[in-house]
């Protein structure tokens, strides 16, 4: 689509050409007289061309106005948007507004995002829920919800409450392609100090590699007469909370990351290590969410 300035230049050029054709007609130019019967025909022809350009100009102005309104709505969202979630429980009776006054935050969350973050915080801080699943569609702000929860856990000194001595009390594991964006959101939107180790954001590949050896140990056990490598989290250095972003990456039961995640569910870690699972991809089979179901199983 042409710019508004370009259309205005073309209209001006057509008016000049119209006057040129009229002058040529008056002086008896054969080509012009062959094309047009009289002066009025010349004017009518160029008026038609200019009218088409003006129609284009109106479309451009309308499009620019619409874009400006959309941009304004993005910068100033409605205070009460349509609620995409209706199953967020009421936790208003609990204190959830923990915040370090020195923490610089630059985010205004929508009410349903805040309600979800509040519910997750309450279940973890007050009820010590071993695992939670945040299953929400693309673009609903899962990172913002989890970021708000993490910020308040830190400001409420939750790692000390659960007696975590880990160098990184909270670890987020995500895909390599979004690690940088996740760090940026936590740091600049919630004021979380990534550089000084308030939260560690890593990816599944690093957790499987040498980096994971800081937290994971291997031992050989014999099952059904066959030796088997068993993975477990090292004591005292395991995080108090691990967030599994894109948790459908854990669905392959034999994969290293799935085995590492399953190691979080060992009985000795109950009450010491908690998990949050995030995904926009619905599970099609129970086996796809085995790690989560094992984390939330009831003792018999």
Mean pLDDT score across all residues of the chain: 83
pLDDT higher for 167 or 12? 167
| C-beta separation of 108 from 74 below 8 A | no
| C-beta separation of 212 from 206 below 8 A | yes
User: Phi/psi of residue 168, each to 5°?
Assistant: -125, 100
| C-beta separation of 171 from 159 below 8 A | no
For residues 87-113, average pLDDT: 80
Distance, CA of 28 to CA of 33 (rounded, Å): 7
- Beta bridge partner(s), residue 223: 226
DSSP string, 107-150: ----HHHHHHHHHHHHHHHTT--SEEEEE--TTS-HHHHHHHHH
Residue 116's Cβ-side half-sphere holds a number of Cα atoms within 13 Å equal to 24
Closest CA to 260 of 273, 180, 271: 273
Kindly report the number of other CB atoms within 10 A of residue 70's CB atom. Answer: 10
For tokens 């890593």, the residue is 202
Q: Is the dihedral of CA 197, 198, 204, 208 positive or negative?
A: positive
Residue 291 burial (10 A CB sphere; 0-12, 13-18, 19+): buried
> By percentage, how much of the chain surpasses pLDDT 70?
87
Coil, helix or strand at residue 19: helix
Model confidence pLDDT, tens digit, residues 67-85 = 666 666 655 554 444 444 4
Compute the CA torsion angle 163, 165, 167, 170 (nearest 10 deg).
-20
Kindly report the number of other CB atoms within 10 A of residue 107's CB atom. Answer: 15
Model confidence pLDDT, tens digit, residues 199-218 = 999 999 988 887 778 888 88
For residues 128-132, average pLDDT: 93
| C-beta separation of 247 from 213 below 8 A | no
Coil, helix or strand at residue 233: strand
CATH topology of domain 111-295: Rossmann fold (3.40.50)
Q: 218 CB contacts (<8 Å, ≥6 apart)? A: 229, 230, 231
Model confidence pLDDT, tens digit, residues 238-296 = 899 999 999 988 988 888 899 999 999 998 999 999 999 999 887 777 778 888 988 88
For residues 96-111, average pLDDT: 83
């Amino acid at each position: 689509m042409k710019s508004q300035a370009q259309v205005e230049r073309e209209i001006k050029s057509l008016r000049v050409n119209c006057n040129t054709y009229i002058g040529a007609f008056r002086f008896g130019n054969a080509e012009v007289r062959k094309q047009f019967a009289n002066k009025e025909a010349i004017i009518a022809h160029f008026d038609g061309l200019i009218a088409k350009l003006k129609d284009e100009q109106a479309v451009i102005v309308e499009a620019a106005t619409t874009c400006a309104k959309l941009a304004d709505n993005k910068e100033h969202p409605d205070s009460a948007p349509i609620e995409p979630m209706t199953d967020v429980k009421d936790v208003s009776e609990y204190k959830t507004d923990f915040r370090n006054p020195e923490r610089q935050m630059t985010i205004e969350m929508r009410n349903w995002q805040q309600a979800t973050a509040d519910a997750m915080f309450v279940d973890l801080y007050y009820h010590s829920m071993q695992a939670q699943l945040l299953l929400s569609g693309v673009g609903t702000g899962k990172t913002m919800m989890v970021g708000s929860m993490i910020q308040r856990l830190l400001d409420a000194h939750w790692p000390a409450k659960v007696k975590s001595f880990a160098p990184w009390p909270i670890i987020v594991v995500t895909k390599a392609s979004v690690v940088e964006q996740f760090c940026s959101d936590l740091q600049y939107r919630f004021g979380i100090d990534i550089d000084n180790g308030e939260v560690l954001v890593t990816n599944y590949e690093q957790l499987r590699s040498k980096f994971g050896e800081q937290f994971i140990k291997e031992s050989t056990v014999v099952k059904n007469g066959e030796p088997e490598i068993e993975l477990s989290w090292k004591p005292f250095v395991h995080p108090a909370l691990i967030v599994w972003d894109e948790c459908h990456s854990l669905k392959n039961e034999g994969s290293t990351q799935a085995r590492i995640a399953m190691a979080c569910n060992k009985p000795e870690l109950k009450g010491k290590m908690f998990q949050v699972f995030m995904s926009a991809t619905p599970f099609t089979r129970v086996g796809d969410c085995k790690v989560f179901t094992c984390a939330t199983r009831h003792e018999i």
